[in-house]
Chain A
């Protein structure tokens, strides 16, 4: 076994799964720049209240993808540990949003009440996450089937919470959550994504969570025989996804300052799953890179914004999106990767022959 190169593998070898999504994102950017050189220009303007805010397509892509990015983070964990997906995230976000509003409606809106509302809806969403997680880890129900329950009845639960109404709230604080913090020009949802990113980064840095999730997802038996509480790890993944649902529910509620249980983050579950796949993560579980899923979320949003900017009708947008997504998923598939790998080897062999000659 002659070692061709010794020691550490390069950055690209280690992060090869990010290659396709990064290139896709770059192509999208270049495509837009050619189409409209000013597409990504950002301007600082004053909003109605006279506060400075940033504006531009780039900002609206980053801002608009916030909920999706956060859900994709949580979905990555569930996918890794259970090898399946949670299809109830949109409904759970609606429940969380409803709980949030319900609490706000209980009295005069003070910062403390808002904080209480956020805490309450996080708690509720995490409990629902634990419910899903229990079905999957203890009763070994397929994740998609287990979460189908909440997918079916989640929006009805959201309906009951506020007695069938779609209540609105008048509050600067709530408005700020979905918009701008006065005096700070970057949209608050973008900041929340960054905060969630930091939260998970710290979690991975200071606990063994990422190793456990992967071990359980790759080989449940081996994980168990090495002392890992496989049931607990899967449960934890679902609880963390619940937290992500709550956070994105709060953002979505803040954007409109109302909660409509029927339309809040509707159909986002499929995009969240796609984001995970586009990010180069296997939907069969195991190894994962959360950053990939986040990039995936931004790709989906950038694609949507681009298509709308090209005046594609909203029905056609879906078809175009599908085409691009198929391409990305196929390019990132193991078969294509292996093909590229063997091509590289053959080229290397041919190269060394030429040198010899």
Chain B
């Protein structure tokens, strides 16, 4: 091993039933570098990381770590941790029922005893220094997803690590939090830590990384210096073809201006999680809720779908008054909802891709009318093709798909119900750049061709500006402004969020 290298992986292969997830992949990490690992959904990024951290046993290949002679085999995440490899996995793996501090320290003490006082004090200091808005004694489940993500990162950096692995750590963070995280990463880098960084955000890669390793379909495409590799080239290396520009994305349509029929209207709607608010959407309209994380935007759409207990308000669908107090009622009124937290609210991990796709439609069809196997198979095949879902078969459990492909399955589930009004909370989270464009195109197409109304929430403001004709801005759980037409610019949105509007 050369000087300055902290980690070398050579000829790594691993197979799962029906899939060769990695095929003789090499990877080298140097001291004090930020190394981006890039590739499409299902390329094998998370798998490579799980081989390194002992979650999966590799079929072939060798791993070497600086300071330890010879090839090593890592059997478990605990062992990896002892060897100085800290990891934040793509799916949050903390315990929601424990406190923030417990989550940061549990499972890493030497003996059995836990010095509680010391733990809470240190946790508090660390949270402060990283600027994480959480209290040590707070239950983790009461924190937003983003804060949970930050806690997971705090847990990882708080050890004497040589290698820090971040698998899509920024997918639920906003710009400010991302900047904070980057600051942290640069600090660690200066201390000589090697960082492996997985993300689908190209800007972020160019902002922090020194080197890029690209995987495609389980094979190594190559290792490049970030400064020497233009963005377009990176994308074509990942996809194996050129990215179709967004130019041919159809222009948005302004349903408000057209005075299209109002599909859904709510007055004073509230739930256990959200304050009363008014909202309406017209047929064929694409609108969005925006605001900082924790501003209540997800809670609002959850209320519309009755995902939380509705406590008041009047709702009309197509001008008829309706009561929507259960998700099934929302579904029967033509509403679909893709939840923000895929793992908690979306996937049914052990069920097959097929069952996950037909689930919502099956429930609407009724208890006594199960789909035949053939019909279900046809539905699944259709959407696997439309959304290009990478799965070994329709029988594969959804839990073993890559993160981005799971997201596509959930999207397929709701598209299959052919809703009149579809709520998408972070539909592009964890989705690769090629597919992201596909989804934006799909949203615009659906709204224009089928008159579907869509509410879209995304942490990426550009994405929303590109697709929405009306943005509802939220701050501290209140709606503080509404932007349409010419007001739809990044500056305007930021200004309103910061308190300029109203």
Indicate with 1 or 0, residue by residue over B318-344, a CB within 8 angstroms of chain A CB atoms: 000000001110010000010100001
Which of B351, B367, B370, B390 contacts A1, CB < 8 Å? B390
Inter-chain contacts of B14 with A (CB < 8 A): 345
CB within 8 Å of B: which of A246-292?
A: 286-287
How far is B306's CA from A227's CA once the two chains are assembled, in angstroms? 10
| Contact among A4, A7, A218 for B20, CB-based, below 8 A | A4
Chain A contacts to B: CB under 8 angstroms: 1-9, 13-14, 205-209, 211-212, 214-215, 218-219, 221-229, 286-287, 341-342, 345-346, 348-349
A349 and B350 within 8 A (CB): no
Q: How far is the CA of A223 from the CA of B351 in the complex (A)?
A: 12
Can you pick out 15 interface pairs between chain A and chain B where the beta carbons lie within 8 Å of each other?
A1-B43, A2-B20, A3-B19, A9-B18, A218-B350, A222-B346, A225-B327, A226-B363, A227-B360, A227-B364, A286-B350, A342-B59, A348-B15, A349-B59, A349-B60
Say whether A8 contacts B44, CB under 8 Å: no
Pair B345/A225 contact, Cβ less than 8 Å: yes
Tell me if B368 counts as interface (CB < 8 A to partner A): yes
Most buried by B among A2, A218, A219, A222: A222
Chain A residue, CB-CB nearest to B21: A1
* Contact between B350 and A287, CB atoms less than 8 A apart: yes
Q: In the complex, which of the residues A3, A215, A227, A229 contacts B348, with contact meaning CB atoms closer than 8 Å?
A: A215
Given contacts A7-B393, A208-B362, A211-B355, 19 further A-B contacts (CB under 8 A): A1-B218, A3-B20, A4-B18, A13-B17, A205-B370, A207-B368, A208-B363, A208-B369, A212-B367, A214-B348, A214-B350, A218-B350, A221-B344, A226-B363, A229-B328, A286-B350, A287-B351, A342-B57, A345-B14
Tell me the bound Cα distance from A287 to B351 in angstroms: 7
Judged by a CB distance under 8 angstroms, whether B217 is at the interface is yes
| Interface pair A226/B17, CB less than 8 Å apart | no
Q: In the complex the two chains form, what is the Cα distance from A221 to B363 in whole Å?
A: 15
Give chain B's interface secondary structure class: loop
Closest CB-CB distance, A170 to chain B, in whole Å? 43
The residue of chain A having its C-beta at the shortest distance from the C-beta of B358 within the complex is A211
Contacts of A8 in B (CB 8 A): 393, 395
Give the CA-CA distance A227 to B349 in the complex, in Å. Answer: 17
Separation of A341 and B370 alpha carbons in the complex (Å): 33
Bound CA–CA A223/B362 (angstroms): 12
Cβ contacts under 8 Å, B346 to chain A: 222, 225
- For the complex, give the distance between the alpha carbons of A218 and B343 in Å: 11
Interchain CA distance A222-B305 in the complex, whole Å? 13
Q: Say yes or no: A3-B18 contact (C-beta < 8 A), given A8-B395, A206-B368.
A: yes
Q: Which residues of A are found within 8 Å of B348, using beta-carbon distances?
A: 214-215, 218-219, 222-223
A222 adjacent to B345 (CB under 8 Å):
yes
Establish whether residues B18 and A345, one from each chain, have CB atoms under 8 Å apart when the complex forms. no
B23 at the interface (CB under 8 A from A): yes
Count contacts between A and B, CB distance < 8 Å: 115
In the docked arrangement, what's the CA distance between A226 and B417, Å?
11
B403 on the interface (CB 8 Å rule)?
Answer: no
Task: Say how far B48's CB is from chain A's closest CB, in angstroms.
Answer: 13
Q: Which residues of A contact B413 (CB under 8 A)?
A: 226
Residues from chain A with a CB closer than 8 A to the CB of B57 are 342
> A225 with B217: in contact, given A14-B395, A215-B351 (CB under 8 Å)?
no
Whole-angstrom CA separation of A94 from B17 in the bound complex: 47
Flag whether B126 is at the interface (Cβ < 8 A).
Answer: no
Chain B residues closer than 8 Å to A214, beta-carbon distance: 348, 350-351
Q: Given the complex of chains A and B, what is the CA–CA distance between A214 and B346 in angstroms?
A: 14
Q: B362's closest neighbor in chain A, by CB?
A: A208
User: In the complex, what residues of B have CB within 8 A of residue A345's CB?
Assistant: 14-15, 59
Give 6 nearest A-B pairs by CB, closest first. Answer: A227-B328, A227-B363, A2-B20, A208-B370, A1-B217, A226-B360
Distance A224 CA – B309 CA, assembled complex (angstroms)? 12
Decide if B284 is an interface residue (CB 8 Å cutoff).
Answer: no
Q: Which of the residues B18, B217, B326, B347 comes within 8 Å of A222, measured between beta carbons? A: B347
The residue on B at minimum CB distance from A229 is B328
Within B54-111, the residues touching A (CB, 8 Å) are 57, 59-60
Residue from B23, B326, B362 in contact with A2 in the complex, judged by beta carbons closer than 8 Å: B23
- Complex alpha-carbon distance, A202 and B281, angstroms: 44
Which chain B residues border A341 with CB–CB below 8 Å? 17
Interface positions, chain B 377-417, Cβ under 8 Å from A, are: 390, 392-393, 395, 413
Q: CA of A14 to CA of B18 in the docked complex: distance in angstroms?
A: 13
B interface residue count range (under 10 / 10 to 19 / 20 to 34 / 35 or more): 35 or more
Nearest CB in chain A to that of B307: its residue? A225
0/1 interface trace, chain B 172-212, chain A, CB 8 Å (1 if under) = 00000000000000000000000000000000000000000
B393 proximity list for chain A (CB < 8 A) = 6-9
- Give the Cβ gap from A219 to chain B, nearest Cβ, in Å: 5
Considering the complex, give the chain A residue whose CB is closest to the CB of B329: A227
CA distance A221 to B345 in the complex (A): 5
A26 to chain B, nearest CB (A): 25
Q: Which residues of A contact B392 (CB under 8 A)?
A: 3
Least Cβ–Cβ distance between B426 and chain A, in angstroms: 15
Measured CB to CB, the nearest residue on chain A to B397 is A287
Is B291 an interface residue, CB under 8 A from the partner? no
Q: Which residues of B contact A348 (CB under 8 A)?
A: 15, 59
Distance to closest chain B CB from A200 (angstroms): 14
Name the CB-closest residue of A to B332: A227
Residue of chain B at shortest CB distance from A5? B18
Q: In the complex, A321→B362 CA distance in Å?
A: 43
| A209: chain B residues within 8 A (beta carbon) | 367
A3 to B367, CA, bound (A): 36
Complex interface: chain B residues within 8 A of A225 (CB):
305, 307, 327, 337, 339, 345-346
Q: How far is the CB of A64 from chain B (nearest CB, A)?
A: 34
Q: Establish whether residues A215 and B359, one from each chain, have CB atoms under 8 Å apart when the complex forms.
A: yes
A346 in contact with B327 (CB, 8 Å): no
Query: In the complex, A227→B332 CA distance in Å?
Result: 9
**B13 in contact (CB, < 8 A):** yes
For residue B42, CB closer than 8 A to chain A, the reply is yes
Closest B residue to A14 by beta carbon equals B395
Q: How far is the CA of A286 from the CA of B18 in the complex (A)?
A: 23
Residues of A within 8 A of B350 (CB): 214, 218, 286-287
Measured between beta carbons, the chain B residues less than 8 angstroms from A2 are 19-20, 23, 217-218
Q: Note all chain B residues with C-beta closer than 8 A to A228.
A: 328, 363
Supposing A2-B23, A206-B368, A345-B59 touch, asked if A226 and B327 sit within 8 A by C-beta, the answer is yes
Option from B19, B327, B351, B366 in Cβ contact (under 8 Å) with A224: B327
Complex-state Cα separation, A92 to B362, whole angstroms:
34
A9 lies within 8 A of B327 (CB): no
Across the interface, name the chain B residue whose C-beta is closest to A338.
B57
- Closest residue of B by beta carbon distance from A214: B351
Q: Give Cα A205 to B307, complex, Å.
A: 30
By beta carbon, the residue of chain A nearest B414 is A226
State A208–B217 Cα separation when bound (angstroms).
36
Check A211/B19 contact, CB under 8 A, given A218-B351, A345-B59: no
A226 to B414 CA separation, bound complex (whole angstroms)? 9
Task: Tell me the complex Cα distance, A336–B217, Å.
Answer: 29
Q: Give the one of B14, B23, B367 with max A CB within 10 A.
A: B367
Bound Cα distance from A4 to B15, whole angstroms: 9
For B362, the chain A residues whose CB sits under 8 A away are 208, 211
Which residues of chain B have C-beta atoms less than 8 A from A3's C-beta? 18-20, 392
How many Å lie between the Cα of A218 and that of B347 in the bound state? 9
Taken together as a complex, chains A and B put the C-alpha atoms of A1 and B39 apart, in Å, by: 12
Known: A229-B328, A342-B57. A9 touches B17 (CB 8 A): yes
How far, in angstroms, from A14 to B396 measured CA to CA in the complex? 10
CB atoms of A206 and B370 under 8 A apart: yes
Which residue in chain B gives the minimum CB-CB distance to A224? B327
Closest residue of A by beta carbon distance from B57? A342
Q: Which residues of A contact B20 (CB under 8 A)?
A: 1-4
